[in-house]
Amino acid sequence: MTAALLDSLRAIVGAPHVLTEGDLSAWEQDWRKRARGKALAVVRPATTEQVAGVVKACAAAGTSLVPQGGNTGLVCGSTPDESGRQVVLSLTRMNAVRAIDPANLTMTVEAGCILQTLQELAEKDGFLFPLSLAAEGSCTIGGNLATNAGGTQVVRYGNTRDLCLGLEVVTAEGEVWNGLTGLRKDNTGYDLRDLFVGSEGTLGIITAATMKLYPMPAARLTAWAAVPSMDQAVELLGMAHRTLGAGLTGFEVMGRFAVSLVAKHFPQQRVPFVTGAAEAADETPWCVLLENSDDESEEHARARFEQLLEQAFEAGCVTDAVVAENLTQAHQLWHIRESIPLAQVEEGLNIKHDISIPVSRIPEFVRVTDALLAEQIPGVRMVDFGHLGDGNLHYNVQAPAGGDARAFLAEQEENVNTIVFDSVKAFDGSISAEHGVGSLKQHKLPHYKSPVALKLMRAIKGALDPENRMNPGRVLEA
């Protein structure tokens, strides 16, 4: 049966695109190196019709599929298990831009398109595609949609779901649903698009999408501010909303230890107000990176931006600030923020959390949860950073200084996760804001998700994928 399936797959996509031998770690191991599986084959289709053919062939053989984009996920959601019986369906060859409609402000693209490529193509035509995240140079739009990725501009433009108008999907039966509409209004029944966005490949395979474009802003201003406390960071966010209105496109918060790791491990980056001495007690407690994109002239936009900072100084929300003089400086400031995860890797293995809390409750959540962790694990180091503008924190936990990071992960991960997730629940939050559930968090859902919600989710899964062939073992437990 296995040989027959492989022959069928070769006939569908071509023998060079069915990989069974050699080093397959690029597809079999996740980005964080938390999981390593064994695939029956890595199959790389080039068209939607080929995807449909692969799905039908695997269904006939009783073989499950693991859809994969850039393999940059953080919850082990797109790597095969260890059975050697799953087919990894890599969509990276499907990278065509099918159409750009300037009048409708849309672009229709295939799932394997690299996010940064789409940003650059949109900019070349004078438009903005606002989805932006640290992995944009290697993640794909299909993966962004499958996980409903967030990023740094959600405060104005929303998650990937909010940027999507239509989808093309191959179902578990190998049928093709062409929902590539560019309509902003279509009230003709259930919203199938939103059903597949965020489903992590467990209901069907996204092969193409119609995405929103926006006019390129006339002015873009970026500032890095020193903030005395998380309470005042939230106060500054409120001031930014009132002063900048819809022009506020990014509002990131970073704890002192998080940015000091960048200064320590990447000294070529000049981190404002922070040295590489991660344990220094007199450093700035919190930093905020905020961005204003406006259709006004540079002069008028800068005047309003500086007015905001002046008000923040007077209110004691900001103790120091740097305003980028040009786009190069702005990119340098954003590069510091985006380097925090890489600096964490250099510091050693850590326990990651991608959580969301109502913005008003974040300061108290941080105080309470920091204290609980410090009580349980003396010397534990908190790497707090994230998208305060939309209530999403990357609340990561690093081993005590000088400790064995690998042993810390093995011994403390379950305990730390329970402390953090219980606190998230107490503060009416979510244990996954933008990374998804994957296989890392699926066993946690019954503890933190409504039983009614889980019942409905299982009913949807059973209706669309009754044989559990689409990315099994992800999101919902079998």
Distance CA 238, CA 244 (A): 10
Sheet hosting strand 204-212, strand order edge to edge: 97-101, 106-110, 204-212, 164-171, 176-179
The answer to whether residue 297 scores a pLDDT higher than 80 is no
User: Is residue 131 domain-shared with residue 48, that is, in the same domain?
Assistant: no
- 53 occurs within a structural domain: yes
Distance CA 128, CA 388 (A): 23
Phi and psi angles of residue 222, each rounded to the nearest 5 degrees, phi first: -130, 140
The answer to whether residue 265 scores a pLDDT higher than 70 is yes
Domain span at residue 136? Answer: 97-215
The pLDDT of residue 275: 66
* Cβ 198 vs Cβ 433: under 8 Å: no
Last residue of a domain, one of 167, 186, 215: 215
User: Is residue 291 domain-shared with residue 420, that is, in the same domain?
Assistant: yes
User: Is residue 43 domain-shared with residue 118, that is, in the same domain?
Assistant: no
The pLDDT of residue 277: 53
User: Is residue 354 domain-shared with residue 250, that is, in the same domain?
Assistant: yes
Secondary-structure breakdown of the chain: helix, strand, coil percentages, each rounded to the nearest 5: 40, 20, 35
User: Is residue 169 domain-shared with residue 271, that is, in the same domain?
Assistant: no
The conformation of residue 134, written as its DSSP 8-state character, comes to T
- 436 occurs within a structural domain: no
Percent of the chain whose pLDDT exceeds 90: 85
The answer to whether residue 223 scores a pLDDT higher than 90 is yes
Give the angle 120-248-150 at the CA atoms, nearest 5°. 55
The answer to whether residue 173 scores a pLDDT higher than 90 is yes
* Cβ 358 vs Cβ 406: under 8 Å: no
What are 82-116's pLDDT values in tens digits?
A: 999 999 999 999 999 999 999 999 999 999 999 99
The pLDDT of residue 233: 97
User: Is residue 56 domain-shared with residue 182, that is, in the same domain?
Assistant: no
The pLDDT of residue 280: 44
What single letter denotes the amino acid at residue 240? A
Q: What is the mean pLDDT of the chain?
A: 93
What are 7-37's pLDDT values in tens digits?
A: 999 999 999 999 999 999 999 998 877 889 9
Nearest by Cα to 124 from 84, 88, 97: 97
* Cβ 74 vs Cβ 200: under 8 Å: no
Give the tokens for residue 361: 């409750």
Mean pLDDT across 225-248 = 95
The pLDDT of residue 478: 73
pTM: 0.92
The answer to whether residue 1 scores a pLDDT higher than 70 is no
- 461 occurs within a structural domain: no
Nearest by Cα to 208 from 71, 101, 26, 69: 69
- 473 occurs within a structural domain: no
User: Is residue 142 domain-shared with residue 223, that is, in the same domain?
Assistant: no
> Which DSSP string do the residues of 353-389 spell out, in sequence order?
-EEE--GGGHHHHHHHHHHHHHHHSTT-EEEEEEEGG
- 32 occurs within a structural domain: yes
- Helix and strand element counts for the chain (H, E): 17, 19
User: Is residue 286 domain-shared with residue 255, that is, in the same domain?
Assistant: yes
The pLDDT of residue 281: 42
* Cβ 44 vs Cβ 13: under 8 Å: yes
Percent of the chain whose pLDDT exceeds 70: 98
- CATH at residue 176: 3.30.465.10
Alpha-carbon dihedral angle through residues 309, 312, 316, 322, given to the nearest 10 degrees: -20
Distance CA 314, CA 478 (A): 56
User: Is residue 144 domain-shared with residue 47, that is, in the same domain?
Assistant: no
What are 375-391's pLDDT values in tens digits?
A: 999 999 999 999 999 99
Last residue of a domain, one of 72, 90, 108: 90
Judged by phi (left if over 0) then psi (alpha if -120 to 50, else beta), residue 173 lies in alpha
* Cβ 44 vs Cβ 114: under 8 Å: no
* Cβ 383 vs Cβ 350: under 8 Å: yes
The pLDDT of residue 276: 57
**Confidence grade of residue 302 (pLDDT, cut at 50, 70, 90):** confident
Mean pLDDT across 38-66 = 97
What are 393-429's pLDDT values in tens digits?
A: 999 999 999 889 889 999 999 999 999 999 999 999 9
- 453 occurs within a structural domain: no
The pLDDT of residue 274: 78
Nearest by Cα to 208 from 47, 90, 418: 47
| Cβ count near 457 (within 10 Å) | 17
- 472 occurs within a structural domain: no
User: Is residue 184 domain-shared with residue 294, that is, in the same domain?
Assistant: no
Distance CA 454, CA 58 (A): 28
Distance CA 472, CA 64 (A): 7
Mean pLDDT across 247-265 = 95
SS3 of 208, please? strand
User: Is residue 224 domain-shared with residue 253, that is, in the same domain?
Assistant: yes
- CATH at residue 310: 3.30.70.2190
Mean pLDDT across 176-204 = 95
**Confidence grade of residue 234 (pLDDT, cut at 50, 70, 90):** very high
- 12 occurs within a structural domain: yes
User: Is residue 172 domain-shared with residue 258, that is, in the same domain?
Assistant: no
The structure tokens 């989808």 sit at: 167
Map 222-291 to HEC letters: EEEEEECCHHHHHHHHHHHHHHHHHHEEEEEEEEHHHHHHHHHHCCCCCCCCCCCCCCCCCCCCEEEEEE
Domain count, the chain: 3
The pLDDT of residue 282: 53
Last residue of a domain, one of 199, 215, 231: 215
